Structure 1
Amino acid sequence: MTLRHPLGAVAALTLALTGLSTTAQAQTQDYTVRVGYTHIAPHSSATDATGPFLFKPNSGISLEVQKESTLFFSVARRLDDRFEVELALGLPPTHDVTAKLNPSIVPGYVVSAYQGQTIARIRQMAPTVFLNYSFGESSSALRPFVGVGLNYTRFDDRRSTPTGNSLNGGPTDIRLTDSWGLAAQVGLDYRINDQWSIHGSVATARVKTTLTATTAGAARTMDIHFRPVVLTIAAGYRF
């Protein structure tokens, strides 16, 4: 089934989970807004590039996506004393992409010129819906929690650098497919008072994409898998 509006699907899932609440009317305004800092370690692994003018079956040319930090924000609705639905967002970060060359396959002068150099920059937008479960009593100052959910990742800005164009043999257009995958998080909330809290979490998600780099009509592809570790600390306001 093709989803024509992925962000709409995320929103629809949020509404569906929110609809699970059967609490009293007084609970319907029980929301928390969180704003803070998040650090993303992509832990990417990519297959060797395949396509025209490359060594076969293994080209020895791959890449690695680098770490980045950005602004975090989320909106959560509490369903009862233990469950909440959270839509986690953030200011879309732009990651440097560096060349990863196999010196046993790629000529030494190419390795010397491009190994570890930034060949592209990609911006990713990754809204994630979590269903969180909090341990302990609602009156407790410290409450650990776990969450499971669904992640959608879109790479909405992709640019080859001059170094990347040089490695590829000319101006290069980069495309990456969107990704849907399961997500999970664990964390701790510290309640300062009835309105304010401090929120910390570690999250991950299943993210995979296919990159296509096209230079002068020659398309080369590779599959990229991510095992991201996302560290977040934020201030929460409940209303």
Structure 2
Amino acid sequence: MTICKSLGGAAALTLALAGLHTQAQAQSQDYTVRVGYSNIAPHSSASDATGPFLFKPNSGISLEVKNESTLFFSVARKIDDRFEVELALGLPPTHDVTAKLNPSIVPGYVVSAYQGQTIARIRQLAPTVFLNYSFGDSSSALRPFVGLGLNYTRFDERRSTPTGNSLNGGPTDIQLSDSWGLAAQVGLDYRINDKWSIHGSVATARVKTKLTATTAGAARVMDINFHPVVLTVAAGYRF
């Protein structure tokens, strides 16, 4: 009888310790790191440039920011079974900027020489914080989610190309203002096991900047609005 009681007590203690270990392990898995690939379509729209030696009120000279792909990574902190806070980052992509000229305003020889040519390259750093809400049961392998957040965009490298210098009439310095704006995303998480998952999302943000291009002391400015669509596929690791 004493041996049976001892064995029963040991078994109960073992089960209790196992339960505590499982609970501690579950509580410790509060963070998820995601690494993958993003394609960024800026969908830019820019006003006509204004400034010295340009036609008024419409110069017919604008630009377009081209698509680019880059490495994506993020860190997410679980709040509960439905909510998480995610800081989405990535390797800052460098976008080609091409000339967009109105042939009804700009002389034909200028249009033929510069239309669609790369006149600048700009690199953007755009960390975004999301509050994500997941649908379905926490035990489900596939869970759709939506997120709302805040985006900060900084253009930390800006280079005029030789073609851009030629269009502007000499070596040109480019400056772009920083941007703050709301961001949103929708996506799916597929859980492979307790540690690994596959993550897919479509995100957008409100991004506005003012571009100032200065050539030999003459500054020309334009406003640029971005309506980006960012497609991301990533692997997630929970710990």
| TM-score for the superposition, normalised by structure 2 | 0.89
Q: Distance in 2 between matches of 1:106 and 1:98?
A: 16
Decide which moves more: 29-38 or 177-186.
Answer: 29-38
Aligned length: 216
In structure 2, the CA distance between the partners of 1:26 and 1:193, relative to structure 1 (3 Å rule), is closer
Give the corresponding residue for 1:6.
Answer: none
Give the corresponding residue for 1:154.
Answer: 154
SS, match of residue 167 in structure 1: helix
Sequence identity (%): 91
**Contact residue 27 and residue 79 of structure 1 kept, 8 A:** no
**Contact residue 40 and residue 230 of structure 2 kept, 8 A:** yes
User: Deviation at 1:194?
Assistant: 0.2
SS, match of residue 189 in structure 1: strand
User: Deviation at 1:27?
Assistant: 3.6
Unaligned runs of 5+ in 2: 1-23
Q: Distance in 1 between matches of 2:162 and 2:46?
A: 21
Give the corresponding residue for 1:130.
Answer: 130
Does residue 139 (structure 1) correspond to residue 139 (structure 2)? The answer is yes
Q: Distance in 2 between matches of 1:53 and 1:181?
A: 34
Q: Distance in 1 between matches of 2:25 and 2:224?
A: 46
- Structure 1 stretches (4+) deviating beyond 4 angstroms? none
Does residue 230 (structure 1) correspond to residue 230 (structure 2)? The answer is yes
Q: Distance in 2 between matches of 1:195 and 1:211?
A: 45
Does residue 196 (structure 1) correspond to residue 204 (structure 2)? The answer is no
Unaligned runs of 5+ in 1: 1-23
Give the corresponding residue for 2:210.
Answer: 210
Q: Distance in 2 between matches of 1:203 and 1:36?
A: 14
SS, match of residue 222 in structure 2: strand
User: Deviation at 1:69?
Assistant: 0.0
Q: Distance in 2 between matches of 1:29 and 1:136?
A: 19
Write out aligned runs for 1:70-89 (5 A).
Answer: 70-89=70-89
Write out aligned runs for 1:165-176 (5 A).
Answer: 165-176=165-176
Which amino acid in structure 2 is aligned with residue 221 of structure 1? V
Write out aligned runs for 1:61-72 (5 A).
Answer: 61-72=61-72
**Contact residue 40 and residue 68 of structure 2 kept, 8 A:** yes
**Contact residue 172 and residue 213 of structure 1 kept, 8 A:** yes
| Greater radius of gyration (CA) | 2
| TM-score for the superposition, normalised by structure 1 | 0.89
SS, match of residue 109 in structure 1: helix
Q: Distance in 2 between matches of 1:50 and 1:113?
A: 21
Root-mean-square deviation (CA, aligned residues, Å) is 1.2
SS, match of residue 110 in structure 2: helix
Which amino acid in structure 1 is aligned with residue 128 of structure 2? T
Q: Distance in 1 between matches of 2:162 and 2:202?
A: 35
User: Deviation at 1:29?
Assistant: 5.0
